Amino acid sequence: MSGIVALLDRGRGGVDPDLKAMHERIDHRGPDGEGIWCDGPVGLGHQQLRSTPEAEHDDQPCRDGAVVVTGDIRLDNRATLLDALDVANGGKPIPDSRLVLAAYRRWGEACPDHLVGSFAFALWDSAAGRLLCARDCFGVKPLYYHSSPDTFAVGSEAKALLALPDVDRTLDERKVGDLLTGTFEDKERTYYRDIRRLPPAHAISVRSDGSRLWQYWDLDPTDSVTLGSDAAYERRFRELFEQAVRCRLRTDGTVGTALSGGLDSSSITVVARDLLSSADPLLTFSNVYDDAPTSDEREFVERVTERAGIDSRYVFMDEVGMLDDRESMGWHYDQPPHDTMHHAIWERMKRADEAGVNVVLEGALGDSATGYGLGLIPELLRTGRWGRLAAEIQAISERGGAPRHRVFLHHAVLPLVPPAVRRTYRRIRDEPVLAERKNPTLRPAFVDRVGLDEKLRERYATGSVLRETARRRQCRSLTFGTITASLETTDLVAAAFGVEPRYPFTDRRLVEFSLAMPPTQQLSEGWTRSIIRRSLADRLPEEIGTRVWKTDMSQGFWNSLAREDDRLERLVADPGPLEDFVDQDALRAAHERFAETQSTRDARALWRALSLSTWMKTWAHTSGQ
């Protein structure tokens, strides 16, 4: 992954010194070169990490007449674009940035509509006096921006924008509320009031006198595709999945995969191994635990890595705390890491870098992209297809070992109960609801101040349960803001080590097909995610293809958090600026409960407080400072 910056001075002044400061702030993203282009009130910068064969010939910022582009770009529909566009590069291989320039020449501001892949770019058209910025469909490549009457600036990381003198570090309390409750549906806010995120599948066009923001792509849960047989769906899914993996193998370096032993990462690994040349190594990196056996997946990992041509590397996590590389993490995390397993990603990327790997394939979005299909169960109940419902309930019960009445209640009835009714039931039982349920340490005044309870009510108000369908449920899971936040955090980690993460399950073509296929292809005979199990049955080890549920990572998380107990004790004794958000007595009580009987609710509350506190000491100002 590369890094980009762009700066437009709406007052028509020069940008050179400020642009250089932004550019230098992300120089860790450019181990293979850098470049700056300035012209009066506008400037673009690029920090290059070469991760494709064509990148050797990619001299960014790239100029073609009046148009200049800087981008972190990997396009998957290169053949289609090359056929449609007139692109010349002096007989040299054509880098993806050149294709973006040509696409803009052909389609103007509509060019993002025609791009398939992972990208974030800023393009200046001096003839139109316009800066166009765009981000890929699922937000694999991040893009942050600052807009004021005098300045518009963008960067691959928020820290680039913080180099500008007029960007304030005062934190956004609403975003803090998102962190402390683990709700990330807002895809625009950042932890800084003066910085926003360009949401996935969005573009923004900026001139000296204003700007226009729009969404150029979206999923449609009413779309459908009908094929002649189960075998036809399996063939098409396999074709699209292989295409998604193949596109992400485009590199002249060494490829690795993040292998957990689950269905997603195992599918990527076995397909990647088959697609690579036998002379090319495939390294796998797996987080493992001796002291947390319920979080250890070696028995499944080994079923995959026993295949020829796979070089397996274990990353042992037992001696790793949540913030062991605190100094380095403190610089690279210009936002507090929310992920309870962020340190596992950090250690994995570190090992990949040490092994000389420059591209790691990850399984993120796999659950949603292939679909569990469980949304079919309440749909069958609601639409009166009770024979099929009874058969699936019976099959799920047999597969997972849960009683039929529990399966029926949990998967058929509860999804049809409105959220307000569930909250009333919990109140009657004297159980916490809304923000208190999410985090027992929150200060009530903070909850009221930022409207956390109301925000949570809106989040769970998904519309009438009578109009709910399996496809709508899957569509929501594909566009959760938590996915965006996790991709952004992983980007910061990967950039710290000069490794590019790639995600086959974010392939737009694969996702569109999966959402449009009948839900009965996703849940069949009690098998969730049936389509990927069937499509890759000849490649996946049987132990993987017949796994029913994921491994619970709680024990591994708890152990790593317990290794931070000295820091937690200091935080509990003196929360400092966190007292604006959390109640000290409630924080202490959560710490005491966690020490006595570990639970995920208390562990998450403690981790979020520790993460926020550590980040604030490096990056943020409170509203009172």
Per-residue pLDDT band at 620 (split at 50, 70, 90): low
- Domain closes at, from 184, 215, 246: 215
Q: Assess if residue 438 is contained within a domain.
A: yes
How close are the terminal C-alpha atoms of the chain, in Å? 35
Contact 481, 184 (CB under 8 A): yes
The 3-class SS string of 135-185 reads: ECCCCCCCCEEEECCCEEEEECCHHHHCCCCCCCCEECHHHHHHHHHCCCC
* 315 in the same domain as 167: no
275 burial type by CB count under 10 A (0-12 exposed, 13-18 middle, 19+ buried): middle
Provide mean pLDDT across the span 107-135: 98
- Domain closes at, from 478, 501, 528: 478
pLDDT at position 623 over 70:
no
Q: What pLDDT digit, counting tens, does each position of 347-361 carry? A: 999 999 999 999 999
Contact 190, 158 (CB under 8 A): yes
Q: What pLDDT digit, counting tens, does each position of 226-254 carry? A: 999 999 999 999 999 999 999 999 999 99
Q: What pLDDT digit, counting tens, does each position of 57-97 carry? A: 999 999 999 999 999 999 999 999 999 998 877 788 999 99
Per-residue pLDDT band at 390 (split at 50, 70, 90): very high
Contact 400, 438 (CB under 8 A): no
pLDDT at 625: 41
Q: Assess if residue 23 is contained within a domain.
A: yes
The residues near 63 (Cβ < 8 Å, ≥ 6 apart) are 37
Answer yes or no: pTM beyond 0.85.
yes
Q: What is the mean pLDDT of the chain?
A: 95
* 324 in the same domain as 235: yes
Domains contained in the chain, number: 4
pLDDT at 13: 76
Return the closest-CA partner of residue 423 out of 444, 442, 443, 437.
437
Let me know the angle formed at the C-alpha of 339 by 51 and 216, rounded to the nearest 5 degrees.
60
Question: Nearest 10 degrees: CA dihedral of 445, 449, 450, 452?
Answer: 50
pLDDT at 369: 96
Tokens at 525, concatenated: 């005979």
* 534 in the same domain as 519: yes
* 241 in the same domain as 151: no
* 346 in the same domain as 323: yes
- What are residue 292's phi and psi, to 5 degrees? -135, 70
pLDDT at position 464 over 80:
no
Q: Assess if residue 604 is contained within a domain.
A: yes
Provide mean pLDDT across the span 554-572: 97
CA separation, residue 251 to residues 74, 104, 110 (Å): 10, 25, 28
What is the domain extent for residue 510? 230-369+480-545
pLDDT at 618: 85
The DSSP call for residue 503 is -
- Domain closes at, from 461, 478, 495: 478
pLDDT at 624: 40
pLDDT at position 197 over 60:
yes
Q: Assess if residue 220 is contained within a domain.
A: no
* 139 in the same domain as 46: yes
pLDDT at position 385 over 70:
yes
Instruction: Report the C-alpha gap between 80 and 96 in whole angstroms.
Output: 13
* 102 in the same domain as 19: yes
Q: Domain holding 76: CATH number?
A: 3.60.20.10
Q: Assess if residue 423 is contained within a domain.
A: yes
Contact 58, 95 (CB under 8 A): yes
Q: Assess if residue 9 is contained within a domain.
A: yes
Q: What pLDDT digit, counting tens, does each position of 29-45 carry? A: 999 999 999 999 999 99
Residue type, position 423, single letter: R
418-422: long-range contacts (C-beta < 8 A, 24 or more apart)?
418/465, 419/457, 419/460, 419/461, 419/462, 420/457
Per-residue pLDDT band at 12 (split at 50, 70, 90): low
Q: Which helix (H) or strand (E) segment is 313 a member of?
A: strand 310-316
Instruction: Report the C-alpha gap between 374 and 470 in whole angstroms.
Output: 7
* 82 in the same domain as 22: yes
* 194 in the same domain as 99: yes
pLDDT at 335: 95
Q: What pLDDT digit, counting tens, does each position of 466-486 carry? A: 778 999 999 999 999 999 999
* 329 in the same domain as 244: yes
Provide mean pLDDT across the span 601-619: 95
Instruction: Report the C-alpha gap between 461 and 465 in whole angstroms.
Output: 10
Instruction: Report the C-alpha gap between 600 and 619 in whole angstroms.
Output: 28
CA separation, residue 249 to residues 183, 192, 253, 352, 616 (Å): 33, 36, 9, 16, 38
Q: Assess if residue 133 is contained within a domain.
A: yes
* 49 in the same domain as 9: yes
> Is 96 marked as a binding-site residue?
yes
* 535 in the same domain as 428: no
Q: Assess if residue 541 is contained within a domain.
A: yes
Instruction: Report the C-alpha gap between 499 and 494 in whole angstroms.
Output: 5
Scan for tokens 């006198």, then name that residue: 209
- Other C-beta atoms closer than 10 Å to the C-beta of 600 total 14
pLDDT at 622: 53
